[in-house]
Amino acid sequence: MRISRVHVDTELSVGAEIALPEAQTHYLKHVLRLKPGAALLLFDGKQPFDFHALLTANGKKLGATIESVTAIETESSLSVELIQGLGRADHMDWMIQKTTELGVTKITLFNAERTQTPLKPAQQEKKMQHWRSVAISACEQSGRAIVPEITFLRNLEHIIATSTGNCKLLLDFSGDSLVSVLQQRQATAALAGTPLVILLGPEGGLNSAEIELARKSDFAAVSLGPRVLRTETAAVSALAIAQSLFGDLS
């Protein structure tokens, strides 16, 4: 029987007795129908460990007693930051879920000129919580222990100026093959030590000013092939190719 794996937003250690939040309590009790004494795995999203625990109960509240810990190796050696122009809500949820499963390190979202429904400041906190919950669920499912960082910045110029990768790529039909560019950059050690940065737009792509800004900031244009991919498909495809070449997909 598969042991349930649950994220808790608190630092974990062997021997600790923790109270489980309401959402996890509801899920374990009413969805999975687990009883006190059931085994489960906990992770805190910051440490590369799974903590083996036993479910406990105190009235209607559930808790867990941590009995042991196991180091897990589910984080890719390839660090990838994905910079994505904000698209439709369902497209972004799908992109975050799948790129988390594929091992993305950081996702930075922004209001592009062609974003159909820009994110307003009043909506940001709630949206960030939602996106993080999507990533956490993907980590629970996929076995990842480190939840990818998700940020939102309204200014693409600021995002580009603070990108630290030696290999910065812009998904664009006019570019060279992504595979050939990655292989060339690897040969010159451009992927060593810093994140690979991949920039792409929302539905409709980036406009000419945004593309020019990226090019002036040393983003190399790369192509995924002759077909027009949805923005969320492009993000997932680019990450899968990078992980297959230099990460942990084999």
pLDDT in tens, 100-130: 999 999 999 999 999 999 999 999 999 999 9
Classify 77 in phi/psi space as left (phi over 0), alpha (psi -120 to 50) or beta. Answer: alpha
Measuring CA to CA, how many Å separate 116 from each of 96, 182, 214? Answer: 18, 31, 21
139, 100 Cβ separation under 8 angstroms: yes
Q: What is the CATH number of the domain that holds 215?
A: 3.40.1280.10
Q: Give the end of a domain, one of 44, 71, 98.
A: 71
pLDDT in tens, 206-245: 999 999 999 999 999 999 999 999 999 999 999 999 999 9
List pLDDT tens digits, range 144-159: 999 999 999 988 998 9
Q: Taking the CA atoms of the chain, what radius of gyration do you get in angstroms?
A: 20
Same domain, 104 and 214: yes
pLDDT at position 14: 95
Same domain, 116 and 227: yes
> Do 52 and 105 reside in the same domain of the chain?
no
Structural domain ending residue among the three candidates 13, 48, 71? 71
On whether both 118 and 156 belong to a single domain, the answer is yes
Range of the domain at 131: 80-246
* Residue of 62, 61, 63, 43 lying closest to 52 (CA atoms): 43
CATH number of the domain at 9, please: 2.40.240.20
Instruction: Provide the domain count of the chain.
Output: 2
